[in-house]
Structure 1
């Protein structure tokens, strides 16, 4: 009988689901016999409630960033409380047992703290299947922390130490890096990729705001306009169609050295074509850029987890934080005139990547799955009798 892995994400941005899909690819490469399925859990079970939660989050980080920062930082180094866990479960996941009964998974993997929280709640009530959680940032907030998780897969030794500090045993944490698809694990010839994409072979900077097109992209794009004669500018608006249309309508952006993209599947090729990336600090996007050894400049990181991601990356000289127009201009000047001044970023990325096995996440998942299959065969022949009685 095929082994089944259910990977749970949430429809908040695109990073959590991208991590899930990359994990599917890795598992398929190592063991094609394993059946995998990805679900954006809240959207699948209660789409109206999930949409409200998403809109609330989006409004907080864009309109009230200082308030969101206080909310995020409040008891961030403590495991999530029982009432918060219950609230997440009741609002987004109260019918999750129906999914488990339908899919009958041998292993559950979560790439978002909300789904991890709700599965942990069920495990505490008697649900026996193993749970693996992938922390998709360079920082572990307390919302990720549940003792019922059997295995945490994390990006770095700092996240490892943070989890230990919040009471998770060392045996439950593995440093694997984050799952990314194979196209990000290879580096193509820059000139050839530019030819394929139909753009000029000249110094090129990408602007990205994740799948949602956040992070002050429009303001940043206007800052870079003054460089358009000597710099090729690629603006990625993601799913933010209103931003894309606003840029199209502005005649200042009607220039052969400016390219405006919506959401594209070929983003890895555009990274290969670029000399620098100005981005917000989403965990998966930053890990993809690290794999490409693409110099990163993090522009005004969003409050909460992205500020913490930025702190990790800048502390380890894997990225540079820029907050003002003058700083943007200074780094663009270095990129054009003194590229040796940003070479340290590529050097530190190379050192960081030497510690990463790109398929370590998938291998760890398969190891846990195989251990569970042996244990289930011996001890748990009637697993789903338990869940139906909860």
Structure 2
């Protein structure tokens, strides 16, 4: 069984909230845990996970989040090579990549392929979930989504939320074990409906944007920092 080192866990992942009653009695409530799983095939999936993680933390002090690129965590040596090979293929052979993308567009990954993916690359995912004990799992990439869905078919009871980080709904995102889809637009929602996903399982949320982009900044210090001047309109 995989033994996760304590240093790899968030410092407050075992956090609790102390509640004091009017009578002075203190009780403890464990904070809710949300595990966000992504992959390094392009940075958009992971950035969406971090954006959602930060937003959740800012909205509630009673929730702990953890973002993990699952393949990189399980295979820190070979994962960068795989991700690099993927990027080179997309860049140098876009037609080949497009062919495979379109070929699988309307299909979920079959169970044989999912089993192979699990045993070769993600065979310790169950141990990670058992140790971290999340209350909710959010997947922002199809691969961890496929693996967690497979674990749910085998008895995992943790709710699975799937954040589709595209303005489309490729077949590899779709699985009957997903409890809730978070999608970018009504058009994506319709595509999921057309593929048999119940409407009650789909929320149109948009793609998460990091809260820093919503912060207001004074432009004068920024202009001074970069030696720029305010443009005067004629």
Taking structure 2 as the reference length, the TM-score comes to 0.79
Are positions 1:109 and 2:134 aligned together?
no
Deviation at 1:192, TM superposition (A): 6.1
Q: What is the SS of the residue equivalent to 1:5? A: strand
Q: What is the SS of the residue equivalent to 1:47? A: coil
- Please give the residue correspondences for 1:199-278 in structure 2 after superposition, counting only pairs within 5 Å: 199=228
In structure 1, distance between residues paired with 2:100 and 2:219: 43
In structure 2, distance between residues paired with 1:87 and 1:48: 20
Unaligned runs of 5+ in 2: 1-29
* Contact 2:40/2:69 (<8 A) preserved: yes
Q: What is the SS of the residue equivalent to 2:172? A: helix
Residue 8 of structure 1 corresponds to: 37
Deviation at 1:190, TM superposition (A): 6.0
Deviation at 1:50, TM superposition (A): 2.4
Residue 54 of structure 1 corresponds to: 83
Deviation at 1:49, TM superposition (A): 4.1
Runs of 4 or more, structure 1, over 3 Å off, are 186-202
* Contact 1:50/1:92 (<8 A) preserved: no
Deviation at 1:162, TM superposition (A): 1.2
* Contact 2:138/2:162 (<8 A) preserved: yes
In structure 1, distance between residues paired with 2:226 and 2:121: 41
Q: 1:156 aligns with which of 180, 185, 206?
A: 185
Q: What is the SS of the residue equivalent to 2:181? A: strand
Residue 21 of structure 1 corresponds to: 50
In structure 1, distance between residues paired with 2:55 and 2:121: 29
Residue 178 of structure 1 corresponds to: 207
Are positions 1:30 and 2:59 aligned together?
yes
In structure 2, distance between residues paired with 1:187 and 1:168: 39
**Could you say if the C-alpha distance between residues 96 and 189 of structure 1 is closer, same or farther in structure 2, counting changes exceeding 3 Å?**
same
* Contact 2:48/2:140 (<8 A) preserved: yes
Q: 1:74 aligns with which of 96, 103, 111?
A: 103
In structure 1, distance between residues paired with 2:221 and 2:186: 37
**Could you say if the C-alpha distance between residues 164 and 4 of structure 1 is closer, same or farther in structure 2, counting changes exceeding 3 Å?**
same
CA RMSD of aligned residues (A): 1.9
Q: 1:139 aligns with which of 141, 154, 168?
A: 168
Q: What is the SS of the residue equivalent to 2:68? A: strand
Unaligned runs of 5+ in 1: 203-390
Deviation at 1:24, TM superposition (A): 1.5
Name the one with the larger helix percent.
1
Residue 158 of structure 2 corresponds to: 129
In structure 2, distance between residues paired with 1:194 and 1:151: 44
**Could you say if the C-alpha distance between residues 188 and 121 of structure 1 is closer, same or farther in structure 2, counting changes exceeding 3 Å?**
same
Taking structure 1 as the reference length, the TM-score comes to 0.49
Q: What is the SS of the residue equivalent to 1:168? A: coil
In structure 1, distance between residues paired with 2:65 and 2:38: 13
In structure 2, distance between residues paired with 1:61 and 1:93: 23
In structure 2, distance between residues paired with 1:198 and 1:154: 41
**Could you say if the C-alpha distance between residues 84 and 191 of structure 1 is closer, same or farther in structure 2, counting changes exceeding 3 Å?**
farther
